[in-house]
Structure 1
Amino acid sequence: MILVFGGTTEGRMVAQLLDIQQMEFYYSTKLGSQQDVPGRHTAGAMNAQQIVEFCTANGIRLLVDAAHPFAVQLHENISQAAALLGLKVVRVERRSPEYALANVRFFDSWQGMAEAALESGVEPILALTGVQTIVPLKDLWSSRRCYFRILNTVQSEQLARASGIAMSWIIQDSNPESEEALIELVRKTDAQVILTKDSGYSGGLEAKIAVSQQLEVPLWVLKRPSLPAFDYVVYERKELLMLLLRLKKELLATEELRPGFTTGTCVCAAVKASIIALEDGAFPNDVTVYLADGTPARFAIFPNKLDDDVASCSVIKDAGDDPDVTHAKEVGCTIYRREDVGVEFKRGVGIGLVTLPGLQVAVGEPAINPVPRTMIAQVVEEMAQHYSITGGFTVEPFVPEGEELAKRTFNGRVGVEGGISILGTTGRVFPYSAEAFMGAIRQQVRVARSLGCNEIVATSGKRSESTLKPLCEGVPANAYIHFGNFVGETIKIADEEGFDRITIGIMLGKAVKLAEGHLDTHSREVTFNSRFLANFAQSLGYAEDVVEAINNLTLANAVVDLIPFSVDEPIYQNIARQCHSVCQQAAGDRLRVRLVLIVGNEAPIVVG
């Protein structure tokens, strides 16, 4: 659960994004929100202790400070409460225009601004500072003609009356940030100076500066107060969503792993939003696309470009709890109108190019797999029917960080160069999916086979791969496969794809499980069996005290402390032989297996 301190433009933005992402949250305002925002609402000022009590009672795990920049005490209360609770705080800050203008003057306090006005004798004064500043500026309006523009709400009017100021000096305005309305207000009051505060773009500062320059009326600005040192500070909607998705995985994880969406689904959302923009003249705030099973998937839209025949936008990918390199990254699409009906695919920035045979996509094509191509074509067809579009579209997916992200994948080994692949079969990403992992292994094996390789080198990771390279001279890099924990499935795929030989490199921890007959060595499936290893040692004639010590181990690697490793040590030799036997039985008669046992940095044991 998240607690958002809002009541501002930024607060509304946070609430909308959290609602799109289906993240549960409370929306807190001082007087009761006048905004139409989703979420559970709570009203009333809270000090630090009250924030602590609220968070404790409601299971709050993240705080978002989207309150007004000048809500100084609230910022301090949030910071203090977060420290007491050990919670992280996201501050959604406002950007301010950059300006260096002769008639714009800055002040550090309301008192200093009031004293300057009194000394200058200037009047009438127009204060665009909000109802909360009437009392701090009492010395000014007590002796000078000073109009206060306030929001046209019951709460604002009550606060103004309570301050003691004559209501004839109060102007209630429901459209405060329109330049036209500001110009009319300045002329109506004959203001000789305008007072405001640095409330940023969303607070209308840019409009006030523009009016000040146009009418040549001095603008006096209260500087923005300093903020506590919050954990995260963001300024833009896209930046905020990227952060929220990272924190969703890091801080807000639940016991049940969450599924996410594929890059293919993300591109579909961008395509739909872009067609809407071309037809309606503006991008939607968000769109919903439907997965193969009818499940709706909602995405916030971030526009990039819109012309008569071209539209481009992006979404931020939520991969759920899967360790996906594109999680919380930007995925988008540019579409171009074309006369011919249907869809043509082009390669955008960060999308890989297929350079080797053996994949589902032909050499020279952008790495957009068949299922995502079909999904995208279906979206285009649906939108064409909805808008009665007679032509078609060129679809150009892009991932701005794709080329760099691809370096953390196996794309290079399967012949996808220069970026990531657009993948997906169901539209969903399932965390730690065995099906997806095995699909990736089969893809790598097929590419190796298409290159004429007869041997596969299967390892559990980079470290064991480095050990095997001197033993596998002449085997190209494309034939090195990471099996993770799926030893048996990798052997099966190598056999089905027609390989003659497979070399399997395995570390001691997985090797003990494999020797016991477990072809899937993941800890979810099987844990270290100390009794098996102890019996193994006993059958080889090791002393009873050593056997008993092995039986009490909790980690297989700890056996090295009891029996130092060497290539001649019987227990390690026999573990390697037993692993080879298990693998060869799984491979059958045709596929030959070579097993390499790796223990630390020592020379490995090779069987087969």
Structure 2
Amino acid sequence: MIILFGGTTEGRLAAGLLDGMSRRYLYATKSASGCFPMSHGEHRNGALNDRTMVSLLAEREIRLIIDAAHPFAIGLHRTIARVAGTLSLPVIRLERDYRIDPELIDTPRVRFADSLAAAAGLLEIMKPRVVLAATGVQSVSVLRPYWTEHRMKVRILPAERSYDLAIREGFPEEDIIRKAPSCSQAEEEATYRLHGIDCLLCKESGSSGFLPVKLAAAKACGISAVIVRRPVLPATFRTVHSVAALREALSDRGERP
């Protein structure tokens, strides 16, 4: 059996491929949200550490790991790498498209940082009036030193658990924007203007994370942007950049239903 770590656009694409190839697989996500029909897969949710992942993979007789999780799920990627090494299992990483028009990033308005903490340091130097953190609710605690001293709004998914987490962290309720990122540049522009945003803080999340749309909207609004670079993946992963390449990688391994 194959285990597919998903919860992303890429995860669904990989699941569709496995269904089309009649491969049995376990679709693993951290939360139970985002379930979808699968013809040859079954869903499994819940966080895993090294011990519980080893147990799960042994119990389900997993012979291949496909990592299609979010690029910033650093802890998960590292756990997969350690467990795969322990069990001598191959890992195929289905990577997303990070290509972006150079005109959107080759400008003094856009700066890069290697971490959220480094990004906060850049913001201290740039001194924007109102920052929009489009970095997810998990970033609220890391950014605490900044938003307790400066004006920041955070955009989070419109799920109660995300809202509750932000409130528990003490983030000002009036500065929470409960809205999913949009694939529409016009909607992004409207959000920036409505909230008086003059600086966007975002992650290098690729096209499926709507980064090109966010940066195009920022350019149209004449505002600056700070982008947190995506983390480096474990060197032991075999990385593919398309569903077609994933199919080829599976065929190379002679995967059977």
Please confirm whether the aligned pair reaches a TM-score higher than 0.5, indicating the same fold. Answer: yes
Q: 2:110 matched to which residue of 1? A: 104
> For 1:33, what is the secondary structure of its paired residue?
coil
Paired with 2:244 and 2:156, the residues of 1 have a C-alpha distance of 31
Q: 1:19 matched to which residue of 2? A: 19
Alpha carbons 1:12, 1:37 under 8 Å: kept: no
> For 1:7, what is the secondary structure of its paired residue?
coil
Paired with 1:120 and 1:14, the residues of 2 have a C-alpha distance of 41
> For 1:67, what is the secondary structure of its paired residue?
coil
Q: 1:423 matched to which residue of 2? A: none
**Residue 214 and residue 35 in structure 1: after superposition, are their counterparts in 2 closer, same or farther (change >3 A)?**
farther
- Write the letter of the residue equivalent to 2:9: T
Paired with 1:97 and 1:217, the residues of 2 have a C-alpha distance of 21
Q: Residues 164-183 of structure 1 correspond to what in structure 2 (within 5 A)?
A: 164-183=170-189
> For 2:182, what is the secondary structure of its paired residue?
coil
Query: What percentage of aligned pairs have identical amino acids?
Result: 35
1:116 Cα deviation after fit: 2.1
Q: 1:88 matched to which residue of 2? A: 90
Q: 1:44 matched to which residue of 2? A: 46
Q: 1:61 matched to which residue of 2? A: 63
1:69 Cα deviation after fit: 0.7
From 188, 198, 223, give the equivalent of 1:192.
Answer: 198
1:37 Cα deviation after fit: 4.6
> For 1:147, what is the secondary structure of its paired residue?
strand
Paired with 1:90 and 1:143, the residues of 2 have a C-alpha distance of 43
- Write the letter of the residue equivalent to 1:78: I
Asked which structure has the greater CA Rg, the reply is: 1
Q: 2:239 matched to which residue of 1? A: 233
When structure 1 is superposed on structure 2, of 194-203 and 150-159 the one drifting more is 150-159
Alpha carbons 2:130, 2:198 under 8 Å: kept: yes
1:7 Cα deviation after fit: 0.5
> For 2:183, what is the secondary structure of its paired residue?
coil
Alpha carbons 1:15, 1:37 under 8 Å: kept: no
**Residue 130 and residue 177 in structure 1: after superposition, are their counterparts in 2 closer, same or farther (change >3 A)?**
farther
Paired with 1:154 and 1:171, the residues of 2 have a C-alpha distance of 13
> For 1:56, what is the secondary structure of its paired residue?
helix
> For 2:112, what is the secondary structure of its paired residue?
strand
1:35 Cα deviation after fit: 4.1
Paired with 1:30 and 1:71, the residues of 2 have a C-alpha distance of 10
1:394-445 Cα distance to aligned partner (Å, 9 max, x none): xxxxxxxxxxxxxxxxxxxxxxxxxxxxxxxxxxxxxxxxxxxxxxxxxxxx
1:49 Cα deviation after fit: 2.0
Paired with 1:56 and 1:10, the residues of 2 have a C-alpha distance of 25
1:121 Cα deviation after fit: 2.6
Structure 2 unaligned runs (5+)? none
Q: Residue 8 in 1 paired to residue 8 in 2? A: yes
Alpha carbons 1:97, 1:205 under 8 Å: kept: no
Greater relative contact order structure (CA < 8 Å, 6+ sep): 2
1:240 Cα deviation after fit: 1.4
1:263-302 Cα distance to aligned partner (Å, 9 max, x none): xxxxxxxxxxxxxxxxxxxxxxxxxxxxxxxxxxxxxxxx
**Residue 37 and residue 209 in structure 1: after superposition, are their counterparts in 2 closer, same or farther (change >3 A)?**
farther
Paired with 2:151 and 2:117, the residues of 1 have a C-alpha distance of 17
When structure 1 is superposed on structure 2, of 131-140 and 152-161 the one drifting more is 152-161
Paired with 1:175 and 1:198, the residues of 2 have a C-alpha distance of 14
Q: 2:225 matched to which residue of 1? A: 219
Paired with 1:244 and 1:159, the residues of 2 have a C-alpha distance of 39
1:14 Cα deviation after fit: 0.6
Alpha carbons 2:35, 2:43 under 8 Å: kept: no
Q: 1:114 matched to which residue of 2? A: 120
Paired with 1:35 and 1:143, the residues of 2 have a C-alpha distance of 39
Structure 1 unaligned runs (5+)? 259-608
1:175 Cα deviation after fit: 5.0
Paired with 1:175 and 1:113, the residues of 2 have a C-alpha distance of 20
Paired with 1:23 and 1:146, the residues of 2 have a C-alpha distance of 46
Paired with 1:124 and 1:108, the residues of 2 have a C-alpha distance of 22
1:230 Cα deviation after fit: 3.0
From 164, 171, 188, give the equivalent of 1:158.
Answer: 164
Paired with 1:75 and 1:11, the residues of 2 have a C-alpha distance of 14
Paired with 1:176 and 1:49, the residues of 2 have a C-alpha distance of 38
Paired with 2:52 and 2:3, the residues of 1 have a C-alpha distance of 13
Q: Residues 320-399 of structure 1 correspond to what in structure 2 (within 5 A)?
A: none
**Residue 107 and residue 161 in structure 1: after superposition, are their counterparts in 2 closer, same or farther (change >3 A)?**
same
- Write the letter of the residue equivalent to 2:146: L
Q: Residues 421-460 of structure 1 correspond to what in structure 2 (within 5 A)?
A: none
- Write the letter of the residue equivalent to 1:30: K
Alpha carbons 1:65, 1:90 under 8 Å: kept: yes
1:574-608 Cα distance to aligned partner (Å, 9 max, x none): xxxxxxxxxxxxxxxxxxxxxxxxxxxxxxxxxxx
> For 1:157, what is the secondary structure of its paired residue?
helix
Paired with 2:26 and 2:134, the residues of 1 have a C-alpha distance of 30
Q: 1:74 matched to which residue of 2? A: 76
What is the aligned residue count?
A: 251
Paired with 1:236 and 1:46, the residues of 2 have a C-alpha distance of 26
1:118 Cα deviation after fit: 2.4
Q: 1:30 matched to which residue of 2? A: 30
Paired with 1:245 and 1:164, the residues of 2 have a C-alpha distance of 50
Q: Normalising by structure 1, what TM-score?
A: 0.40
